[in-house]
Amino acid sequence: YTVGHSLGEYAALVASGVMSAEDAVQIVAKRGALMATAFPKGTGSMAAVLGLNEPEVKAICDKLSTADLKIEPANLNCPGQIVVSGHQSKIDELVRDGKSLGAKRVLPLNVSGPFHSSMMEVISDEFSAFLDQFEFNDAVVPVVQNT
């Protein structure tokens, strides 16, 4: 089996024969460029929530989110560590109020955007069209995907 988290998933796809390393470099570069332009710097971010399970983190995200400003669970790193992604003001609120909402700790992540969140849907059509130019093979080694 191969497995990778976030960008590491591309390495897993290369190792499994799904794509060439050259194609992966082009795809990752385009992904990064699109993600960097999806939102102005400072409009979205991520934070790690420690000491709560997925339903508890989801409930906090639902409580703090509004119709226009959302946060959501993005990565289930391990039991008791869930990364949340979304609008900057709501991430800031989560970091500030996380302990009072039941978290052991909430750590802001040093990232430039709301990655792994529904906010990235604004780039999905362009990225999908870009991917259409590549040929993907069946995996010769199974890939465990994290989505």
Q: What residues are annotated to the active site?
A: 6, 116
Mean pLDDT of 37-51: 91
Q: Are residues 15 and 63 in the same domain?
A: no
Provide the pLDDT confidence category of residue 53 given band limits of 50, 70 and 90.
very high
pLDDT tens digits, one per residue of 6-36: 889 999 999 999 999 999 999 999 999 999 8
Instruction: For 131-140, write each residue's pLDDT tens digit.
Output: 999 999 999 9
Kindly indicate the confidence band of residue 39, based on its pLDDT and cuts at 50, 70 and 90: confident
33 and 7 in a single domain? The answer is yes
Mean pLDDT taken over the chain: 94
- Residues 49 and 99 placed together within one structural domain of the fold: yes
What's the alpha-carbon Rg for the chain, to the nearest Å? 17
In the structure encoding, which two tokens stand for residue 18, read together? 């799904």
Is 118 a domain residue?
no
Residues 81 and 107 in one domain: yes
Answer for the pair 12, 141: CB distance below 8 angstroms, yes or no. no
Residues in the chain: 147
Number of domains in the chain: 2
Kindly state the tokens that stand for 8.
């590491």
- 63 and 90 assigned to the same domain: yes
Q: Could you tell me the pLDDT band of residue 42, with boundaries at 50, 70 and 90?
A: confident
Predicted local confidence at residue 147, as pLDDT: 55
| Helix, strand or coil, per DSSP, at residue 82 | strand
Whole-number pLDDT of residue 6:
86
